[in-house]
A and B are shown apart, each in its own frame.
Chain A
Amino acid sequence: MSGFAQLLLVTVLLLDVSLAASSRLAVLIRAFALQAAAVAALALVLDGPGNPHAWAVASGTLLFKGLLIPYFLGRASERTHAVKEQDPLVPYGVSLLLAAAGVAFSFALASRLPEAAQRSGILLGAAAFATMFTGLLILVSRGTALAQVAGYLVLENGIFLFGLSILRHMPLLVEMGILLDVFAGTFVMGIVVYNIHRTFDHIDVRALTALKEGAEREEGMEEGG
């Protein structure tokens, strides 16, 4: 693995830690865009720049995940006046520690991967796991819908990296399909976020507990059993 690839992977890992601890939505979105760009570059570097296939995958990833989606997310955050998450479910300090623990666990996991997946070095597998954990951590710890969308997207970055580590040549069609999925998913989530905002006047998904099954007859359940 080239030194450049290693540099990119370390960038991805550092961005993971930064993502886990950033309270401002704008920073979150920017860090995600940067990570997506790094992942796109990694796809190009690992597959060799002479490969037109790798160019297509890298440029598609950069276009969608590095530019278009961050742009949409930024606009959504402007329209909903969501700037910063004040009160996350897990405090940022704890998130930071958890993300660091996740990176350590990822290295432990990556060293246990079967031979075939380790061809490209332990760093790639570790970065993939760490990014997935970070995405899940964001999903679990944040209350605002936009941060959740960002969490899903970070998770997808990790899945992409993992794909790179086990399949040398990611099939073009599969990658394009995933990109389309992510794009459409973000689009739908943007609409949902907008509607949550219009209905509840904020985008805190914690308010959605009112939709839980049997929420309105909770009292009756206590008595009747």
Chain B
Amino acid sequence: MSGPLISLGILVVGAILSALCGRRSLAAARVALLSVSLAAAAGTPTALRVLVTGRGVSWRAPWSLPWGSLSVALDPLSAFFIAFILLLAVPFAFYGRGYLARHRGSSWHSLSWSLFQILVASMVLVVSAADGLLLLMAWEAMSVASLFLVIHDHEEEGVLKDGLVYAVAAHLGVAALLGLFALWGSWAGSLRFADLSAVPLGRGASWTLFLLAVAGFGSKAGLAPFHVWLPKAHPAAPSHVSALMSGVMIKMGIYGILRILLLLGGWRPGWGYLLLAMGGSSALMGVLYALGQHDLKRLLAYHSVENVGIITIGIGAGVLARTAGMEIASLLAFMGALLHVLNHGLFKGLLFCGGGAAAQASGTREMDALGGLLKRMPWTGTGFLIGSMAICALPPLNGFASEFLIYSGLLSGALSGRAAPSLVLFFSVPVLALAGGLALACFAKAFGVAFLGEPRSAPARDAREANPWMIAPMMALALACIAIGLLAPLMVSLIAEPASALAGVAAAAGGGGAAAVLTKVALAGWALLLLAAILSALRWLLLRGRTISKAPTWGCGFSAPTARMQYTASSFAEPLLGPLRGVLRPRVHLVEPRGLFPEGGSFSSHLEDWADKILYEPLFGGAANLAGRVRPLQQGRLQLYLLYTLLALIALLLWQVLA
């Protein structure tokens, strides 16, 4: 157990030192890099040992806090997430060092480095806590640290408002979690996980707890309809924070759901159906809304919703398959979900780093002002391309491996022929496939509009390649994406133990099936690489000895080509979103060209979130309305306030007299 505890200590000490650096924020960054790296070095070996052997460790200390105990435990599930958090925090910290380098030193930056380390430490504590109260405290620390990281650029317009949305979402989520642990703890008489899992639960009780867990943890994970904070908070945050939050922090919600499932036991098929439905709708809605976005980071944020949906489909399939007695299908689905957690952390981090670098170099996140960045920023562009391919689940990259595992779980459950569960698992396959296809279209748009073609604005034309501090982490993440895709069978040993605990089978019994699947995946990847090598050799052969001339992209033989002739983000999405206009209801501004020699015409479309419009705007509008009615009470007059006190006092006394 000592490894992760040492990591926690290092991170806390580093956070304090960084905060003390004041205006010397470069020193604070160095401290952060050192502490995050040391923490990873200290914590990962223990976590990996637990992960491979499957033997957990625990540690407990006396604590004077009522209802809580300082008990920390590492089972394979925790170990998987600890290794995931610690290893991924390192490249993001290095990237952040480069991302903030162009700013002048300020104490605010030092503080943000301190918060970065606190965020990592609190996430480690969240996944290793074996006590409800400790988990809630770590969870709250995580929310608060990330909130202040989101409003890092608080001088910019709208950032504080987006931060507020995140704060409200985070606290509504915590409210559900408080309810969860308060209820469960009152039944169990203690908040220690061992006691919680020992208490027998009836049908209604376990459903209540499960729904509270899904609402509380699901809102952090960004499951629809709790996802509205993601597209607001991620673009507002600096890119290394977006990467950490989107890549790692939202997975704490996934961890929470898995942990509560493990503790609850006695799963019900209804939970599987619910998770599949939520996952499916998140995946589809996330990718559809992503298609309609113009802001590069907002697009990526909606893809986080999509990928969390995919992970949840895996979890839902695992739950459903286990309750129907299909252990192998369940194991495959859980392994796919876990592997996708890791993979999404890698490629979404890479995409946020690449997108952030592109946005920083050209001064805008609006895709319609970018273009042609691949020529100006080759490293960043390549990184973004690899990330895009991985997130679209194209072989030979890692996204393919994990989604393939989920597919095989779904199909193996569907083919085992147990009426209702099999049918539902079967129909989840096209949902997943549709989301994957749309993701491909979406990243063709994102990469094509931002990185290919000709620059659409002067700043994009003058964009320069990012500094090495930013490039190196991106390359490391890209290499990891490729390596996991090509060496997929090796990953089985990392995910077999936690997945088999969830699926309820011995790791040795079920791991073979997954290894076979992943071997095929890797072979397909190698075959593709070989094919690509043959094709490029062929190209080289054919082009040998010929003159190659270069012309502007989209030149098309026009005498006066302009960058405005290119597809824009709106026009690229139009053929896909057009048929869905009735469902998505984009706001379209269309000025049609008129006459024989039209003078002007324009088209633009904006997509507003359905959940925002139908669910949250009426909800919060109503709350604001109610609050507004009470507002006349605040007149600013001392006498009036005292009158309220007097009236309350007299009312209480009267009640006593009359009673």
Footprint of B on A, CB under 8 Å? 89, 105, 108-109, 112, 133, 136-137, 139-143, 148, 205-206, 208-213, 215, 225
Contacts and interface: CB of A to CB of B under 8 A. Distances in A.
B183 interface: no
7 contacts: A108-B657, A112-B657, A136-B649, A140-B643, A208-B638, A209-B636, A225-B624
Nearest to B621: A225
Contacts of B642: 136, 139-140
A109 B635 contact: no
A109 B657 contact: yes
Name, among A139, A140, A205, A212, the residue most crowded by chain B CB atoms within 10 Å (CB to CB). Answer: A140
A213 B624 contact: no
Given A205-B639, A209-B637, 8 more contacts: A133-B646, A141-B639, A143-B639, A206-B637, A206-B639, A209-B636, A213-B634, A225-B628
Contacts of B639: 89, 139-143, 205-206
B653 interface: yes
Nearest to B625: A225
Contacts of B650: 105
B64 interface: no
Contacts of A89: 639
Nearest to A148: B638
A46 B389 CA distance: 90
B656 interface: yes
Given A136-B646, A140-B646, A212 B635 contact: yes
A209 B636 CA distance: 4
A210 B636 contact: yes
Contacts of B646: 133, 136-137, 139-140
Interface in B616-659: 624, 628, 634-640, 642-643, 645-646, 649-650, 653, 656-657
B624 A208 contact: no
A112 B653 CA distance: 10
Name, among A206, A210, A215, the residue most crowded by chain B CB atoms within 10 Å (CB to CB). Answer: A206
Chain B binding surface SS class: helix
B638 A205 contact: yes
B634 A212 contact: yes
B653 A109 contact: yes
A208 B653 CA distance: 31
A212 B657 contact: no
Contacts of A108: 657
Contacts of A143: 639
Contacts of B643: 140
Contacts of A112: 656-657
A30 B635 CA distance: 32
Given A139-B642, A140-B642, A140-B646, A208 B656 contact: no
Interface size grouping (class) on chain B = 10 to 19
B635 A209 contact: yes
Chain A binding surface SS class: helix
A139 B657 CA distance: 24
Contacts of A225: 624, 628
Contacts of A105: 650, 653
A129 to B, nearest CB: 8
Contacts of A136: 642, 645-646, 649
A144 B606 CA distance: 57
Nearest to B643: A140
B636 A212 contact: yes
Contacts of A206: 637, 639
Name, among B639, B645, B657, the residue most crowded by chain A CB atoms within 10 Å (CB to CB). Answer: B639
A93 to B, nearest CB: 18
Contacts of B653: 105, 109
Given A140-B642, A140-B643, A225-B628, A208 B657 contact: no
Nearest to A209: B636
A206 B642 CA distance: 13
Contacts of A205: 638-639
A133 B649 CA distance: 10
B657 A211 contact: no
A148 to B, nearest CB: 7
Nearest to A145: B638
Contacts of B624: 225
B640 to A, nearest CB: 8
A196 B645 CA distance: 24
Interface string B444-469: 00000000000000000000000000
Nearest to B637: A209
Contacts of A133: 646
A221 to B, nearest CB: 8
Name, among B640, B642, B645, the residue most crowded by chain A CB atoms within 10 Å (CB to CB). Answer: B642
The list of the 9 closest CB pairs from A to B, nearest first, reads A212-B636, A209-B636, A140-B643, A136-B646, A139-B642, A140-B639, A140-B642, A112-B657, A205-B638
Contacts of A211: 636
B650 to A, nearest CB: 8
A185 to B, nearest CB: 15
A128 to B, nearest CB: 13
B167 to A, nearest CB: 19
Interface in B156-191: none
B630 to A, nearest CB: 14
Interface in B581-640: 624, 628, 634-640
A215 B638 contact: no
Contacts of B657: 108-109, 112
Contacts of B656: 109, 112
A89 B649 CA distance: 20
Contacts of A140: 639-640, 642-643, 646
Contacts of A137: 646
A222 B281 CA distance: 39
B649 to A, nearest CB: 8
Contact of A215 (B636, B640, B645, B649): B636
A114 to B, nearest CB: 11
Contacts of B649: 136
Nearest to B638: A205
Contacts of B645: 136
A55 to B, nearest CB: 34
B130 to A, nearest CB: 44
Contacts of A139: 639, 642, 646
Nearest to B639: A140
Given A108-B657, A109-B657, A136-B646, A208 B628 contact: no
A205 B639 CA distance: 9
A43 B575 CA distance: 90
A213 B641 CA distance: 14
A108 B624 CA distance: 42
Nearest to A112: B657
Nearest to B640: A140
A139 B656 CA distance: 24
Nearest to A213: B634
Name, among A136, A143, A148, the residue most crowded by chain B CB atoms within 10 Å (CB to CB). Answer: A136
